[in-house]
Amino acid sequence: MTTGLPDTIETAFVGKRARLFKLAMVTGFWTLITLGFYRFWAKTRLRRWYWSAIRPGGQPVEYTGVGSEKLAGFFLAVSILAFWLGVVNLLLMFASLSIWAIPGVAYVLSFVGLVPVWFFARYRARSYVLARTRWRGIRFGMAPGAWGYAGRAIIYLIVTILSLGILWPRMTFLLEKYRSDRSYFGDHRITQGGQWTMLMAPFGYVIAAVVAMLVALGFSYFTPETLVWALAVTVPLVLVSVLYYRVTAWRIMASHKSAGGLGLNSGANALVVARIVVFGAIALAILMLIPLLMLGGLANLVNYLVEGPTTDLSRIGFGAWMAIVGAVVSYFFVFMLWSGLRHIFVTMPLWRHYADTLEVTGSAEFCRVGQRGRDAANEAGGFAEALDLGAAI
């Protein structure tokens, strides 16, 4: 039995900017007038658009999540976090004042206590997204293991800090391996191959950039003029090196993933990603300048019509009320416009580049992939929503 596909399947991104911008603006509008409740359905619609635009071998990827799952999961996560922020923080504050007589200790302990929850949320969010993703009718999935992921992440983070950041590639690889080795395409388990040392070469640029920054700061003697110049030269260098590392690490690890006889090849290019980010940010800044100036003009108009601060609302005339309403509407419109422009100038081009440079190998294995049962929604990524993780999509 054959699949009728070539051994290597190219991936294409077929989404159009105009349709995405319209979708982002419409969903943003409904999110605003529902005071944020529609954002769970807005994210669902945007994910369906992005997923369907990715076409490995001409077959679109499907996203089957629903907004009601996200809403229920969000309330569940918020109730648990409310307990943490309320009861646990109260106990920490009491202990801090009783033992150390320093309230700042409680804030530090509370923040440290949220770190494993942050890693837990990342794992569960990825688990939910995979559970609601299909390709060629075959479901993806992810085995439970969020607390195991959080525990390992804390240990790896401590080791990385003790190594002064040099072992960051080790943490990157081992955490991705933990997630990948518990992921499935149908009944085929996905495996992350390779070793963490293969990420050391691209991370060497980060080390070199940080060392250069420290040396420049050392030679600046911390005088204001030389310090500004040192930071102006070295900070962009560090940011570029970090971007190069992240893109290259993603490409290397993606190319070492497999599921039985299936595999991936990625040609993601850090220079292309940098160009998208930089020019996208410039386009955003230029296009957002006009509505921001208009918003500032409306604010000045409100001040002029109201004629100074007053607590007597009856003194505010009709023109002032109209200006206030216009300023409020314009304020929220700026955020809607920012979201829509960010999608078409940054997020979509990045997705298109990663998709267009991705290949699936070993297509003959498709005939041996069995279906996977539909995983439960759990909290449907609610912790990630509550902690505002992965806010782009």
For the stretch 108-118, pLDDT in tens is 666 677 788 88
Structure confidence at residue 350 as a pLDDT band (50, 70, 90): very high
CA-based angle 81:85:87, to the nearest 5?
105
Question: Out of 27-36, 268-277, 288-297, 382-391, which region has the weakest mean confidence (pLDDT)?
Answer: 382-391
pLDDT for position 217: 77
Q: Record the tokens describing residue 57, joined without a space.
A: 């071998």
What are residue 56's DSSP bridge partners?
11
pLDDT for position 298: 57
Contact 273, 240 (CB under 8 A): no
pLDDT for position 76: 73
Residues with Cβ within 8 Å of 5's Cβ and at least 6 positions away in sequence, in order, are 57, 363, 366
Query: Edge to edge, what strands does the sheet with 133-135 contain?
Result: 61-63, 133-135, 138-142, 183-185, 188-189
N- to C-terminal Cα distance for the chain? 38
pLDDT for position 333: 75
With 0-12 / 13-18 / 19 or more C-beta atoms within 10 angstroms meaning exposed / middle / buried, residue 250 is: middle
Q: Record the tokens describing residue 34, joined without a space.
A: 């529902």
**Quick check: helix, strand or coil at residue 37?**
coil
pTM greater than the 0.85 cutoff: no
pLDDT tens digits for range 229-268: 778 888 899 999 999 999 999 999 999 999 988 999 999 9
Q: Is 83 left (phi over 0), alpha (psi -120 to 50) or beta?
A: alpha
pLDDT for position 297: 62
Residues with Cβ within 8 Å of 285's Cβ and at least 6 positions away in sequence, in order, are none
Q: How many whole angstroms separate alpha carbon 252 and alpha carbon 244?
A: 12
Q: What is the mean pLDDT of residues 346-363?
A: 94
Query: Edge to edge, what strands does the sheet with 8-13 contain?
Result: 54-56, 8-13, 358-361, 262-266, 257-259, 191-192
Question: Out of 20-29, 105-114, 241-250, 363-372, which region has the weakest mean confidence (pLDDT)?
Answer: 105-114
Contact 78, 382 (CB under 8 A): yes
Q: What is the mean pLDDT of residues 87-116?
A: 65
pLDDT for position 63: 94
Please indicate whether residue 385 or residue 270 has the higher confidence score (pLDDT). 270
| pLDDT surpasses 70 at 86 | no
Please indicate whether residue 295 or residue 126 has the higher confidence score (pLDDT). 126
Q: What is the mean pLDDT of residues 130-151?
A: 92
Structure confidence at residue 79 as a pLDDT band (50, 70, 90): confident
With 0-12 / 13-18 / 19 or more C-beta atoms within 10 angstroms meaning exposed / middle / buried, residue 308 is: exposed
What are residue 8's DSSP bridge partners?
361
pLDDT for position 229: 76
pLDDT for position 24: 93
